[in-house]
Amino acid sequence: MARDFNSSQPRGGLLSLKMDFKPDRSPEPRVWREDLIRNLACDICGRQYGVYAIALFCPDCGCKNLGVHFEREIELILQQIDLAEQVAENGNGELSYRILGNAHEDVVTAFETYQKTFYKHIVKKAYPKEETEKMISKGSIGNRFQNMDRARDLYKNLSIDPFSVLTQDELGRMQLNI
């Protein structure tokens, strides 16, 4: 049908039409990676769902599931530590060190994500929208939750010290590792 499109048109006429076909050059879809999915269940509605990395709300009921994700992250980090110990016992110290390094990065990421989300939630509840947008902007927060002293500075605006419940020993470990 498309091949015969121009066949009935006289050549050299006032108008001419031409039809070309160019194949789509868009990239092929990426492979679905079951091994990267984090399987969770909403602690409000009970819906089971899978996400890559962290999604901070249930796709069904919309409730924030920060605690669910944080607990799952802790489970995975503890598994990394166990795996690093097993690898070290089998004589591969370098790989063990790398696994522990990745676990440490995951701790910092989980801590930062949890703190940012909590901070934004509290700010939205306590301040008018105009102030909120400025206080929770990327520029205002940045990576301040990767450092306890800088995180405390943000929380001072809210008259909150989320680290006040920690002992001096726990604070020392947090300062060292976060």
* DSSP annotation string for 6-28: TTTSPTT-S-----------PPP
Is the pTM higher than 0.75? The answer reads no
Q: What is the pLDDT of residue 36?
A: 61
> Rounded distance, CA 78 to CA 138, Å?
30
CA distance 5 to 99: 63
Sorted by where each begins, the domain ranges of the chain are 34-177
**Per-residue confidence in pLDDT tens, the chain, 178 aa:** 555 655 565 666 666 667 777 776 666 655 556 666 778 888 899 988 888 766 778 888 888 888 888 888 899 999 999 999 999 999 999 999 999 999 999 988 888 988 998 899 899 999 999 899 999 999 999 999 988 889 999 999 899 998 999 999 999 988 887 7
Q: Which residues pair with 37 in a beta bridge?
A: 52
pLDDT at 67: 86
